[in-house]
Structure 1
């Protein structure tokens, strides 16, 4: 097989896979990344070229990268948990430490599921888009857009002033919307902080830094990554439940930092002695209702905290809305306090009742024993003709079929000899085709012989696959409608138009027409801009590789069409 073409991750000139350096920008690839990381110039999925390592955390490595077809920059997150992974060899394959094989496999699945779920809801306002999820080298890679901009913490340092609540809320509104979209599909970010929020050139903020629950929870088995002052108190213990209110705490902490000029006292320290001052105490210019809303969002007890992002947004909007949210939160806190007071009394009552029942049972057993000894012995020589043999009742307990292959069930006479199976099928993104998704009755249900022994099973059909349509030449609106009608998610990027294309129409897509793809997949759509559109970032000069899109076509400013 001939080597594939790749792009230099520095200048984006075309090279041959395996090249040790770039003859155009004269940069060598050898030794750019540390041992254990992917070498610069590695090709992933025949489409992405890996660049230099940007950062590493307990979950994996973040690289710069290039998308070879569209010739634009991306970032690539590799799942490589340092506490579970063995040293990686020259073949780049990830291997588990002895004894960590199962945990590595399950956490790797969690990583893939997280990024595939985010891929389905991005591009969304305020969220860094997930463009692709790739399985290779015995691990998983998430390909992310390169949103540009600067981290919020650096942006705030340059301001040298506190931000007014109105400015802060306007800047973070896209992030609020994005986090609310995550919550609607059951995802919690758990890492909202100034470091993971980027301020773009247009003043809008965008949230980055996705991670699995293990990375953002202490004691999970991964090398945790918590953000002092921004991580919620429930994240400091693996036994505490986390929910939407966890992100509410972090968002409130970010707003607190913006309007006060300092971050809140870390939650671990506050749980010992809560000395965090209200925002108005730090900055008297903060309106009282904003200070109260932030205090409600930063409550240590989740039950006494604002519960959702829309509620936090409303509380920050006006004094009346803040007062209403305060009444709601305080009422929930009082209700929990009453339940807590009643719980010991109920527990004591239950204990006393149990003791009385036990004494009654022991008394009955003692009387039964005494009465049995006072009866004359029965005739041992001949049983009574009127005495009938006791009947034997067979009880079967329904096994747990969920997660099993239906072929295993069909070929097991132990199951087919006892139960009848009624089977229906559903599409599933998480279970392979033929796997049992649900069952009725539930596992452990007792079924007496002679009763209805039909088990209803729902079997996975695997992910729903759809055919990629040919949208070349469509208007942007027409392409979006066509892709969405097939269950695909369009992610539109503008490309500079030298007059070769019709403005506002599709010039290329990330997936070839006729390809079968999973429903819900994100399709990158390249839209030709007007001829007079100015590029905000000057692209590097790259030789024309002869393809439909050249380096000069791509607007490398990273501005998408949302």
Structure 2
């Protein structure tokens, strides 16, 4: 549930929402993407579902559009700031780009939806990320009957705690954690979404605020309050409270008055709503959701430590003591019965000892041989079983380990096509490729990777494969003796330009190449468009006719016959005889 400021608080320069709040039209193009439909919007941006027009993938695009200080131009694409809002618009646009560029660099964080591209267009910023088709945590809880046990919830909550802790250490806070901004895939792997500028998560800020009742911390409802990692501590604890109890926590906006003083104690301890919730978990959530931030945990690590605190055993061992004393009365019959039992026991003891002795004399040799052979067999079986236990993890346990962790393979030296087309890698990797020249690997071979081999990952992770284009330089092949058509075909394949020079030469047939400039074997860069001079032998005339002098001195001895559309000049070298 979102809390949005009243429309009357919007700046006077803004015209009606129907005019200013205008998402991109369906079918319009942004970069290489085609807009399919609008998914959502808030006071900071509009989110779309779009299609990559190059490879056909479905993607998610966020367009920076703070409608309290900007509007859509008449062309239906450009975003422009409202009057007197130019400076603020530029500041927030730069902050928006900086936030998502930082998130894009967090490729090792398994709880972040991979960002594909960030670019500027239409005077604003666009963030393109993968469209994973996930369900919200709230939707998952509804399918589970409204809540979930601590034992099951830990599977997706623990990665969230660790992901938040890592982001906080990088100076990134979310400030919008709620079951609507946390997503789960089919394997219950969690993803964080809804990152925004701090101004949109503060009531009465410059941007239209987006707060989540029951999950936003008290300090987010007051401009003068300071926000930080403790704000996310409150929100993730509130999310955990909702997961375990099935109840949405009270709205934190009602916890503090304008001066920041505590008004009431509205939160019911989780253990009172569900007795199966561990006591230490209930206490941790109660501390993390204190209205006064100074009484909360400063970091997610502090919350996590309390959540995982081992509860000491309260099992007591009772011993029955002899309580008889000098006042205890012993009946005579009991004494007689006791003496009778002692006498009968002695007789039975003698009989038992005799039988035991007989068994030992007769059966010990047989028993020794039996147990000896049996022990050897058992020892061999136990040894083999131990080796199997060490080498082979039970199928169920192995499956759980594979779900939790996977070590990155070494792709260097493998053909890129074999790796990219292998379906077994789809579970763990998003592959990106970068082509580069490399003298040590053949073209099409992977020469480097962004994540080193044996790196542990816990979910599908983006990895960049550097694919060799072969050596950067290549030698000019021997073209002498080849026809002009053959030489042109070879140079076209190399991406080189050429010029034809006709001359007399008796070492080759007319129409064949007798020399190149530069000569064969010269190393040429594949990135450069070198021009190769091809000297072609012409048929010598039977009689030599004097030729007219050229009109211009600089063309003496050479005549340009024609110039091709491809900027290749055909030159005839004149005879000087």
Task: State the TM-score bracket (shorter-chain normalisation).
Answer: 0.5 to 0.7
Map 1:207-246 onto structure 2 (within 5 A).
207-246=192-231
**Aligned partner of 1:282 among 228, 248, 273:** 273
In structure 2, distance between residues paired with 1:231 and 1:504: 35
Could you say which residue in structure 2 is the equivalent of 1:509? 432
Residues 35 and 215 (structure 1), Cα distance of their counterparts in 2 relative to 1, 3 Å cut: closer
Shift of the alpha carbon at 1:37? 1.4
The alpha-carbon deviation at position 125 of structure 1 amounts to 1.3
Whole-Å Cα distance in 2 between the matches of residues 274 and 507 of structure 1?
A: 47
Instruction: Say if 2:44 and 2:65, in contact at 8 Å, map to a contact too.
Output: yes
Number of matched pairs: 323
- Asked if 1 retains the 8 angstrom alpha-carbon contact of 2:173 and 2:228, the reply is yes
The separation in 2 between residues aligned to 1:255 and 1:59, in whole angstroms, is 27
1:264 match: 249
Q: Report what 1:247 is aligned to.
A: 232
8 Å CA contact retained: 2:43, 2:210: yes
How far is 1:226 from its partner?
0.3
Q: Does the aligned pair in 2 maintain the 1:230–1:250 contact within 8 Å? A: yes
Paired residue for 1:120?
105
Q: For 2:68, which of 83, 87, 98 is the aligned residue?
A: 83
Per-residue CA deviations over 1:40-91 (Å, capped at 9, x if unaligned) read 233333x333221001111110000223444322100100011001343225
Q: CA deviation at 1:185?
A: 1.1
Query: 2:48 corresponds to which residue?
Result: 63
Q: Is the 8 A contact 1:36 1:89 kept in 2?
A: no
* The one of 122, 125, 137 aligned to 2:122: 137
Counterpart for residue 287 of structure 2: 296
Q: CA deviation at 1:39?
A: 2.2
Kindly name which structure, 1 or 2, has the bigger radius of gyration based on alpha carbons. Answer: 2
Q: Which residue of 1 aligns with 2:541?
A: none
Matched, 1:40 2:26: yes
Aligned residue for 2:59?
74
Pair 1:218–1:508, CA change in 2 (3 A) = closer
1:20 alignment counterpart: none
Q: Which has the higher contact order (CA 8 A, sep 6+)?
A: 1
Q: Gaps (5+ residues) in structure 1?
A: 1-32, 322-474, 483-493, 515-519, 528-562
Instruction: Tell me the equivalent position of 2:77.
Output: 92
Deviation at 1:261, TM superposition (A): 0.6
What CA distance in whole angstroms lies between the structure 2 residues aligned with 1:513 and 1:90?
Answer: 40
Cα deviation for residue 260 of structure 1 reads 0.5
Deviation at 1:252, TM superposition (A): 0.3
Retained in 2: the 8 A contact 1:126–1:176? no
Q: Which residue of 2 aligns with 1:180?
A: 165
Are the equivalent residues in 2 in contact too, given 1:126–1:177 (CA < 8 A)?
no
| Residue deviations 1:291-317 (CA, integer Å, cap 9, x gap) | 000011111111110111122122111
What does 1:370-389 align with in structure 2 at a 5 Å threshold?
A: none
Q: Which residue of 2 aligns with 1:101?
A: 86
How big is the shift at 1:240? 1.3
Alignment deviations for residues 499-523 of structure 1 (CA, whole Å, 9 cap, x no partner) = 9xx9999997365547xxxxx9x98
Contact 2:20 / 2:67 at 8 angstroms: preserved in 1?
A: no
State the distance in 2 between where 1:507 and 1:260 align. 36
Q: Residues 156, 218 of structure 1: CA spacing in aligned structure 2 closer, same or farther, 3 A cutoff?
A: same
- Structure 2 length-normalised TM: 0.51
Does the 8 A contact of 2:25 with 2:76 survive in 1? no
Work out the CA distance in 1 between the residues paired with 2:146 and 2:79: 47
1:480–1:178 Cα change, 3 Å: farther
Label 1:509 to 1:129 Cα distance change in 2 as closer, same or farther (>3 A): closer
CA distance 1:70–1:513, change in 2 (3 Å): farther
3-state SS of paired residue (2:25): coil
Quickly say closer, same or farther: Cα 1:78–1:513, change in 2 above 3 A: farther
Q: 1:169 aligns with which of 154, 159, 179?
A: 154
Determine whether 1:273 maps to 2:259.
no
SS at match of 2:67: coil
Q: How far did residue 281 of structure 1 move?
A: 1.5
Does the aligned pair in 1 maintain the 2:107–2:114 contact within 8 Å?
yes
Q: TM-score, normalised by structure 1?
A: 0.53
SS at match of 2:201: coil
Q: Which residue of 2 aligns with 1:9?
A: none
Residue 38 of structure 2 aligns with which residue? Answer: 53
In structure 1, what is the Cα distance between the partners aligned to 2:303 and 2:112? 18
2:206 match: secondary structure: coil
The alignment status of 1:313 with 2:304, answered yes or no, reads: yes
Q: For residues 145 and 225 of structure 2, what CA distance do their matches in structure 1 show? A: 38
Q: Distance in 2 between matches of 1:135 and 1:480?
A: 35
Determine helix, strand or coil for the equivalent of 1:81. Answer: coil
Residues 470-505 of structure 1: CA deviation (Å, up to 9, x unaligned) = xxxxx97456999xxxxxxxxxxx965489xx9999
Indicate if the aligned counterparts of 2:21 and 2:67 stay in contact, CA closer than 8 A: no
Contact 2:200–2:208 at 8 Å: present in 1 too?
yes
Contact kept, 8 Å, 2:430 with 2:463, in 1: the verdict is: no
* Equivalent pair of 1:127/1:175 in contact (CA under 8 Å): no
Q: Match of 1:62, SS?
A: strand
State the partner residue of 1:557: none
